[in-house]
Structure 1
């Protein structure tokens, strides 16, 4: 009858013993006791359990991993006596409903599935009928659970309930029902212990983020009153909650967005106690790894931190930035010890010497910089190669050896004894150049698979000192024997530039990551990739803890993710620390010049009326989880938006009624660029994975995919149409630095231009098919005549920026050009004579976007400092500043309990208020 199912047979045997006193014949003869299937069998057993036993089973189904009795007891709303709880656990174990494992009690899979179905069914009934019982005593989601557990709770509990409640009730009915339930909970007494308030909040957040986000008028949780409630296990991380009322509520065991910016660099102290991270924010944050609580915030002018390092003894932390600055602090006091700006070019790497006496930095320029680490009492620099960057420096763990990698694809192994001599001879505060590194090198190596375009962007020695790994912009990883200086093997799999390589403490595992949005773990001995994990955008940094049991990574979305490293080299995501990157990466002028659309890092698009002084918001719509790019159609009737990390569609919006009337599907990765052809017939889109699509939008309500241009597997850096709409030019982040030109009618590649220097930006003039400009990491802008392409004539070179160009834009008349860079400046150029008209230095971080208004009288600039500035093109004066809005702007936390002092301060930093 039970198909030999062992658990079913065991449960039947228990039934025979308990009800029929072991008489199998009587059991078989009793028609009324025949179970139709395993579910009926479980229903019978569940009905005979005590309330405490049922509650324990539901909790085990929610936590979804082994749990010990003390931890289980802490979750129960009314904690029973220890003796009663142990008796309930023993009873359930005897009935084969739970099993004892090394880490505690857990459910068998069939029991977990059965209880999950019961939880979903009961939760739906209670929400629709307005009678809370199970939801009063159990949450559907545990905000503080390990990340992979919480994700499974969302997928298996929250999502099914949300889907079913949407099928039963309208949006208005759901809002009304939830508010009635909240009012009923509040009437039972302020902050009365319950999981129901947090569950209702989590459910509404899920509906808002997944189901309702594409509505023409986004639903706002601010209309719900969450004051004077117990809101346990509320998962508020990453949520946009402006003006929500939490006054006098209990937010114990809830999670929040933290008040740090985009994390682009991180480091773990050698003793494994501390984690330091920095990025777009004006600070370095330090956490205790034992409980992930913030320990210290180190302040400075730190936008665009590119690397962080602890000293060997853990007493100092240092960082370098993309504008050539170096900072050091004392970890215990948080006091800044010294800082300096060594160059205008970006620094990419910072490390301490093994004895901690020297701090070493390198980057886009040809120098390796050395300082006395604590007080910078001396300084030296070594010259690597002309016209190259020294991308990575690394000390050998046991030998006096320093490795330096260059943008020319070379690896230098330098005798540290000679460097020690140089440093010991240094007089106090002297600043002189050392010898060229080539004259010092013990060995100059070149990767086995290097081409003329190879740049070595990642390097690591193994902790046992026997190997080193190197990787570059071609995505290949090579393993070398240090003693014999012999290439051992090449690890293939990455499809784009590598940013990070690190060995595990036992030297048996190598972690790699970069611009192909994957994190990989390799078996060093066999060269096999054992784990491949997709990342949220580009991966910037990763580090093992000293015990090798955890891996910490950060990527493009600013998340710091902590992973458990399993013995099989698989990864379990256990925690995410999410800061708030307050940026507005997308902006577009309406063809009339009267409106400005701005998209932000929370997926919100705001349409500003520029005829008002100051500009006012006309309306707001919710785009995807991130808005990276916006473009108005030439007639202004609609605009396109895209850029989501989770959703890769292109949304078309009616300008007048704010309705999203079309979704263009075809991209598989984040869309980075959108541009309409001047005649309005075509829309071009370029994505993170290199895919370039051309859409026929002559009938935008029924837009069709016109062509797909073959990509190179590397992110698209730029798209531009010529003024006659016959060609589109594309650039990609590949190691050939190539611009490609396509025929819009046939979709065929016409020709290409290849650059030796990295160059990402190509832009046609709006007034002439024969004038264009290209720019890249060298900081210069080259204006060229393209009439004879693929041959070209250089018209002029615009020099002034001293770091990588991020954006350029021609004026509508084509006689001026505005540019922006990682150097934090905006520059306006006269193309009649190449003069630099203005250098605008008001931004406090890299400027990633510039655009001219349709009449050419104004231009805008968007920066990682969280502002968009509107400039007068004639005077260079800033006309208006658009600021981002914090995720908790206006949130009322007056009298809130259950949060720490640090959490309260973080909520306020993100816009929350106390009255």
Structure 2
């Protein structure tokens, strides 16, 4: 029937996905390349989906619906966490559309029966089993003997269900020698249903067979014999595993598929339920068996498998324990069980401790006040988890996963052998991970925010990174020791590429040049001039003679590498951001801020295809090694995989919550790596489109600050999505003169944890809430009394970079990465209008204090003044020579201040736009500006780690505070409403409080770290890099002062 439909999507529910996940997949598939993510409101998402289901005829199949329905008295109903399926089925029955939803299930959902009785277009068809003669033949082939009538009687009872007949045949063979007549004459009669049959089979399993069944239920996909043998605990021989598998195959419990062994869906579901019930019984008091011998979550498994293990095993187990004993009772029992494990020699080196900690984490969301010293901890998942006062001293840790301290990822590069991947982070680091297990193998600082690329040489011996300012450094890839320093560029370096033979290196810069270097000796061989705008991307032709750079204005040029001469050139759309060359040089792909993906016929300048790709703009492109697949990434976080031959979207990869900055295919495997501004590095299977691994970074640099009106509390928003309320008294407790190095750990009020970096924190005009700008394209309003999010505005095209509210509380403005300035009306959070004109990212926005004017500062080096109520005309202020980072109006509206990467502050007459003063003093990029509430002072903060104070009347700096570096770049500033205090937030995760009149530093606090006071003394199994990373996040090698009692709540 597929030819009768435009789109066919089949999805098995055996792994119990959420209904929202299913609908998101449908939206992506039916919308194709035109996909624009609708608002988070369920009604808006449904409207989007059904619009496409009306425009096309789609067949949507949901297989095994019973997997998400209740059991027992709840049969036919959906549990609370799967209520989305009820809504989904109702929508298909009640809405008009041109598509078909086909559901298969072993039991009828009650919602379907009600809708069918109501006369809605929904029909239920009972699928007949095998015919009697075919059922009889199957039974005889399975070793069951008897007269035809008896065999067909048995077949009729099981309605011709092939699996049930095979299971029954095996039971008859084992118990009655295959004689069906003896079986039918027994008192018990036939087994009631498939689950009773499976109960009987499990009762006869040996210990090895049972262990294999449980491991296969945990694996969720086919497993090779050798892998299975390596996992089973206590260890057994491969021969024993093979024998047990043959026995299980004969009993129709295990099937061979794709080079491994797995369970049939019904058996998988039954075995999973049985495992969860057994684990619950053990935790509540029975001797440990499955809890000690099986890892409930395998940290070396593919990410989508781990997600299924959490959803179907760990979370149901935690829910069952809480339902039985209550939350406090369940936690207390698990803590006592951890103590029992310590006293049992066999258990102490098993999977038990890791499983217990994972269940505790699932119940409480964190781990705290635990003694795990001396135990073996296996397969522990502590990514994105807060852990405090936990003692691991002397423990052996195997296959554990931790968060790491890194910020957004700018660029990535696979080693030519595919064994490692290097990343350049936004916090001036290079990090190197093993690709097999995600273990950190190296990390070192590269002190420049002007060098984006990180790149392995073709032979894998060199690694290109950034040094001070615009210096490029070639390091030894193994030792990370500097080999060469390449100097010459005068501005940010955006991209780099080696020739295939490694004989030259090309770099593209915002200084409008491309330079060609000899990577063995260091000199610049050619400086290629010819572009009038920043050169954003480049590619080296496979023949080694051609070089193709592309500039921000869309100009693409072919250069001869050997003599440095320009050959051909053509123009794409302005705002170009990404370029990729096919492995054979026959195709060139380009993309930029207009969201289109263009395929060119080599270097001819002829367009082969022009495709809508990402509404928010294309940020990265990459061809795989075969050239059959092209990946494109968007500023909104989605990744599309394109079939190069057909130019159709093969799959959409979703998971990033902010812009994707770079893509790289594995040199040998079907894997794609993506680098995100959401502090994640993700690796995907490019054939199945499934996530394989995610590395999570935690960096809590303070991007936004706001005082409460009474100056008793300070609100902060950080890179890790955290929002805290700090009592101002906490700063005083640290003592005056505190710096980053002497900052005290504090316990602020944790208001929220959002999924992406917080770019703005503003108190609502009524002071009852906070407005939070977030890099996941949203602005949220939080009620401070309830801490609930009471309003959300989603900007579908771009990350929210800055946030401002006008004095009357009527308007909210945000800045974006693609240069558009949306304005929202409050409190409805409805889009009021959007201003277009910038050609670069809008880094900062500010409202005039009394007039309906909005100022926006952009990476295009301009400030624009927009009239919110008048004409569409606007004013443009020019004068800065590099990207702008900050804009602010004085409280009386007389002055407008702007600052950025050119290290200057420019003061403007706010009424006329006339330039008044240029203020010099900072030695690096200025990130923040704030006017004193009385208007006579302006504070500025910069990457040079200093704060400077400026007198507005004199237009000059005044002696104030300390100009010595505080310890890390300063990103944010806020004055208290009375003007007595100034708060500053740093990239180093610290907040400083200053006395304005005296310039004294009153105190410093640190954003809470995720592994605060976690003891890792003498822990076995950690690499040096892992140990250093844990210390960065709060862990210590000092022994705790006391041993925490494991039953403490």
Class of the TM-score when normalised by the shorter of the 2 chains: 0.7 to 0.9
Distance 1:784 1:832 in 2: 13
Per the alignment, in what secondary structure is the counterpart of residue 862 of structure 1? strand
Per the alignment, in what secondary structure is the counterpart of residue 145 of structure 1? coil
Distance 2:593 2:231 in 1: 49
Determine which of 443, 446, 449 is the counterpart of 2:568.
Answer: 443
Distance 1:635 1:101 in 2: 63
Distance 1:863 1:754, change over 3 A: farther
What is the match of residue 208 of structure 1?
364
- Residues 35, 41 of structure 1: 8 Å contact kept: yes
Residue 705 (str. 1) matches residue 831 (str. 2): no
1:57 CA displacement: 0.7
CA offsets per residue over residues 158-193 of structure 1, 9 Å max, x none?
222333444444443233222122122223249723
Determine which of 832, 841, 849 is the counterpart of 1:723.
Answer: 849
Distance 1:802 1:753 in 2: 32
Determine which of 246, 249, 254 is the counterpart of 1:93.
Answer: 249
Determine which of 1009, 1015, 1019 is the counterpart of 1:896.
Answer: 1019
Deviates more, 1:615-624 or 1:39-48: 615-624
Residue 134 (str. 1) matches residue 134 (str. 2): no
What is the match of residue 583 of structure 1?
701
What is the match of residue 313 of structure 1?
459
Deviates more, 1:135-144 or 1:86-95: 135-144
Matches within 5 A, 1:700-849: 705=828, 707-709=830-832, 718=844, 720-724=846-850, 742=868, 751=872, 753=874, 765=889, 767-768=891-892, 772=896, 793-796=913-916, 798=918, 806-819=927-940, 828-832=949-953, 834-835=955-956, 842=965, 847-849=970-972
1:132 CA displacement: 4.0
What is the match of residue 541 of structure 2?
396
Determine which of 763, 777, 790 is the counterpart of 1:632.
Answer: 763
Instruction: Calculate the TM-score normalised by the size of structure 1.
Output: 0.83
Instruction: Calculate the TM-score normalised by the size of structure 2.
Output: 0.73
Per the alignment, in what secondary structure is the counterpart of residue 360 of structure 1? strand
- Residues 472, 498 of structure 1: 8 Å contact kept: yes
Distance 1:906 1:759 in 2: 33
- Residues 695, 706 of structure 1: 8 Å contact kept: yes
1:69 CA displacement: 2.6
CA offsets per residue over residues 238-262 of structure 1, 9 Å max, x none?
3222321122333222222345554
Matches within 5 A, 1:477-488: 477-488=597-608
- Residues 320, 348 of structure 1: 8 Å contact kept: no
Residue 653 (str. 1) matches residue 784 (str. 2): yes
What is the match of residue 434 of structure 1?
none
What is the match of residue 54 of structure 1?
210
Structure 1 gaps of 5+ residues are: 210-219, 420-439, 697-703, 744-748
1:415 CA displacement: 2.0
- Residues 495, 537 of structure 2: 8 Å contact kept: yes
- Residues 564, 574 of structure 1: 8 Å contact kept: yes
Determine which of 331, 342, 350 is the counterpart of 1:194.
Answer: 350
Per the alignment, in what secondary structure is the counterpart of residue 560 of structure 1? strand
What is the match of residue 711 of structure 2?
593
Determine which of 637, 658, 664 is the counterpart of 2:791.
Answer: 664
- Residues 843, 886 of structure 2: 8 Å contact kept: no
- Residues 846, 889 of structure 2: 8 Å contact kept: no
CA offsets per residue over residues 476-496 of structure 1, 9 Å max, x none?
111111253311111212122
1:518 CA displacement: 1.1
1:903 CA displacement: 3.3
What is the match of residue 331 of structure 1?
477
Residue 144 (str. 1) matches residue 270 (str. 2): no
1:741 CA displacement: 5.4
What is the match of residue 261 of structure 2?
105
Distance 1:770 1:913, change over 3 A: closer
What is the match of residue 81 of structure 2?
none
What is the match of residue 607 of structure 1?
726
Determine which of 624, 628, 633 is the counterpart of 1:508.
Answer: 628
Distance 1:648 1:12 in 2: 59
More helix as a share of residues: 2
Per the alignment, in what secondary structure is the counterpart of residue 417 of structure 1? coil
Per the alignment, in what secondary structure is the counterpart of residue 213 of structure 2? helix
CA offsets per residue over residues 542-600 of structure 1, 9 Å max, x none?
1112225221221113222222221xxx4222222334424233322233334323344
What is the match of residue 462 of structure 1?
582
Distance 1:445 1:774, change over 3 A: farther
Distance 1:855 1:600 in 2: 25
Distance 1:208 1:692 in 2: 39
Distance 1:666 1:688, change over 3 A: farther
Distance 1:776 1:470, change over 3 A: farther
1:60 CA displacement: 0.5
Distance 1:232 1:533, change over 3 A: same
- Residues 384, 390 of structure 1: 8 Å contact kept: no
Per the alignment, in what secondary structure is the counterpart of residue 157 of structure 1? helix
Deviates more, 1:586-595 or 1:879-888: 879-888
Distance 2:298 2:726 in 1: 37
Distance 1:223 1:503 in 2: 49
Distance 2:325 2:757 in 1: 31
- Residues 513, 519 of structure 1: 8 Å contact kept: yes
Distance 2:542 2:613 in 1: 28
Distance 1:262 1:752, change over 3 A: same
Distance 1:863 1:409, change over 3 A: farther
Distance 1:405 1:846 in 2: 32
Distance 2:857 2:301 in 1: 43
CA offsets per residue over residues 860-882 of structure 1, 9 Å max, x none?
44343444455566787766554
Distance 1:78 1:293 in 2: 26
Matches within 5 A, 1:427-438: none
- Residues 827, 840 of structure 1: 8 Å contact kept: yes
Q: CA RMSD in A?
A: 4.0
Determine which of 649, 652, 658 is the counterpart of 1:529.
Answer: 649
- Residues 516, 525 of structure 2: 8 Å contact kept: yes
Deviates more, 1:286-295 or 1:687-696: 687-696
Distance 1:519 1:512 in 2: 6
CA offsets per residue over residues 673-696 of structure 1, 9 Å max, x none?
555554568877789998968586
What is the match of residue 679 of structure 2?
558
Distance 2:853 2:196 in 1: 67
Distance 2:855 2:197 in 1: 67
1:62 CA displacement: 0.5
Per the alignment, in what secondary structure is the counterpart of residue 8 of structure 1? helix
Per the alignment, in what secondary structure is the counterpart of residue 296 of structure 2? coil
What is the match of residue 530 of structure 2?
384
- Residues 523, 529 of structure 1: 8 Å contact kept: yes
Distance 2:842 2:268 in 1: 45
- Residues 345, 803 of structure 1: 8 Å contact kept: no
1:19 CA displacement: 2.8
- Count of residues in correspondence between the two structures: 856
Distance 2:846 2:399 in 1: 50
